[in-house]
Amino acid sequence: MADRYQLVIGGQLADAASGETFDSIDPSTGKAFATVGKGGAEDARRAAEAARKAFDQGPWPKMKGRERAAALLKVADLVKQNAGALAELEAKDAGHTIRMAKGADIGMVVSTFRVFAEIAAKENDEEPLARNPGSMNYVRYEGVCVGITPWNFPIQMAAWKIAPAIAAGNTVVIKPATYTPLTTLEIGRLCLEAGIPEGVVNVVAGSGAAVGEELVGSPLVDKVAFTGSTEVGRRIMELASSNIKKCTLELGGKSASVVLDDVDLDYAVDGAMWGVFFHNGQVCSAGTRLLVQRPIVDEFLAELTKRTEGIRVGPALDPASDEGPIESKTQLETVERYVGIGRDEGADVLTGGERAVVEGHEGGFYYRPTILGNVKSSMRVAQEEIFGPVLVVIPFEDEADAVAMANDSIYGLAGGVWSSDNGRAVKVAEQIRTGTVWINDYHMINPRYPFGGYKQSGIGREHGEMGFNEYRQVKHIHVDLGGPSRARHPWWDLTVPKREQPSAPGAETPGPKAPG
């Protein structure tokens, strides 16, 4: 593992223009372990210019989809070959347990590049349309993109932004989250190693205020794909409006896991824990609101609490750790503050509710998985995104009550329904206003299927054909094969004296209107 990381701009590894660097902190120890180039507005401008040049003058957008696909497959292979090193880096930089980094992150990155290679290979860059007599018509797809990513899944989010953007023939500048840029910089480097031409993939580490704002406001950029909080998403929309950029937004969530009374308890308790405590609840789609049908709530909670107490919290690189640290000291303090708010609102802490002490790693940012009972849907802990290992549990009476409570949120990202009766579960799922609902499972995100939010959870979809199309600009090209304009628009024939001009064929009033 290197101890110094550089930006990726215009096909080169580069220091920040200012020469400044910042330390990357390992949340398992609270100590610095590497330095990173601290990009600023000037680096963002250089990267946007490189991406623009690569799009306007470079080979990438002109290549066939299947040629781009071959390059994406090469990136996927390089990620696989470097899986161990990338997983360790994610564990150090972002606190992912090594089990999760190896078992989930790397696989998702590889399959994201592979799926978009497959889509690029089979999609036409030009779509022929019905041929009218005397003309041929087709749609051409084209588009410079910016991808801005959050700190919770750095390497996965880098793949989610880079793969579809470049598969569709665009060039891209990625701004990873301020304190977790290392694996994204490595993916940028591997894209160069895979032979992707200079300027097609650029990565600028740095703050949202300096790098992010410069990129989103840049007139050189056509599209922004943002993943992060709803609050910053609002700011992205404002900035993107400067030159009416296309935006897709993947924002926050406060998703509900609905447990119906006919459920297999063992299965659903296990699933509810996976839904909320996967990666310490630092997951946009986490099932942080557990709605349980009243007849089974006591038994369910007793089992859930017992099993939650068995979760081992420890250093990210220790294979015995079920949960690693919280990603930063700031986020640890946010989690603590919210548990305090819950207590003040009248919630009972059923387990957790405090920092975890990990022997030998006292400087790390650890928190015990926490369950809050006696919660009402109107409380702040049930309404606001905490983004940590905190579950609120609320009983409900019947399906209508569960649906109303699940929908009692400004967010609409995801959710789960647990039942032994699929028909009953589907009826509930259909009424929950979120982009995804999993039945008897959770977190099943697949790069082939669309993912995104309703309401304040976002605009647009990532993944699959729908995600791919978010990165394409549609242009209709009409090629006329029928001779001079006057032959088809007699009313426009400038060679005929005005008084003798015929009206348009088949029309009593003048022919086609000039475009609006």
* Closest by CA position to 263, among listed 282, 221, 229, 291: 291
Among 143, 353, 373, 458, which residue sits at the site for ligand NAD (rule: CB under 6 A)?
Answer: 458
Q: Which of 250, 327, 462, 470 is catalytic?
A: 250
In Å, how far are 116, 246, 350, 448 from 241, measured between CA atoms?
29, 9, 46, 30
Q: How far is the CB of 411 from ligand NAD (least distance, A)?
A: 9
Q: What is the dihedral of CA 417, 420, 426, 432, to 10 degrees?
A: -20
Q: Which of 191, 214, 284, 327 is catalytic?
A: 284
Spatial CB neighbours of 449, under 8 Å, sequence gap ≥ 6? 463, 464
Our finding on whether 212 is near ligand NAD (CB under 6 A) is yes
How far apart are alpha carbons 46 and 219 in whole angstroms? 13
Both tokens of 134, joined, read: 């005397």
Instruction: Please give the order of strands across the beta sheet that includes 126-128.
Output: 126-128, 135-142, 473-480
* Closest by CA position to 106, among listed 146, 66, 78: 78
Which residue lies nearer to ligand NAD by CB, 281 or 353? Answer: 281
Which residue lies nearer to ligand NAD by CB, 154 or 353? Answer: 154
Our finding on whether 300 is near ligand NAD (CB under 6 A) is no
**191 is annotated as an active-site residue:** no
In Å, how far are 44, 47, 78, 167, 440 from 50, measured between CA atoms?
10, 5, 24, 18, 47
> CB under 6 A: which stretch of 41-49, 57-65, 205-213, 476-484 binds ligand NAD?
205-213
Both tokens of 128, joined, read: 């022929």
Q: How far is the CB of 413 from ligand NAD (least distance, A)?
A: 6
Site track 141-160 with ligand NAD (rule: CB under 6 A), x = hit:
-------xxxxx--------
Among 196, 413, 432, 459, which residue sits at the site for ligand NAD (rule: CB under 6 A)?
Answer: 413
Q: How far is the CB of 205 from ligand NAD (least distance, A)?
A: 9
Q: Which residues between 243 and 262 bind ligand NAD (CB under 6 A)?
A: 250-253
Helices (H), 347-457: 380-383, 399-406, 422-431
How far apart are alpha carbons 99 and 87 in whole angstroms? 9
**284 is annotated as an active-site residue:** yes
Our finding on whether 229 is near ligand NAD (CB under 6 A) is yes
> CB under 6 A: which stretch of 4-12, 226-234, 315-323, 366-374 binds ligand NAD?
226-234
Among 365, 367, 387, 454, which residue sits at the site for ligand NAD (rule: CB under 6 A)?
Answer: 387
Catalytically active residues, by annotation: 250, 284
Interface with ligand NAD by CB under 6 A: which residues?
148-152, 175, 177-178, 207-209, 212-213, 216, 227-229, 232, 235-236, 250-253, 284, 385, 387, 413, 453, 458
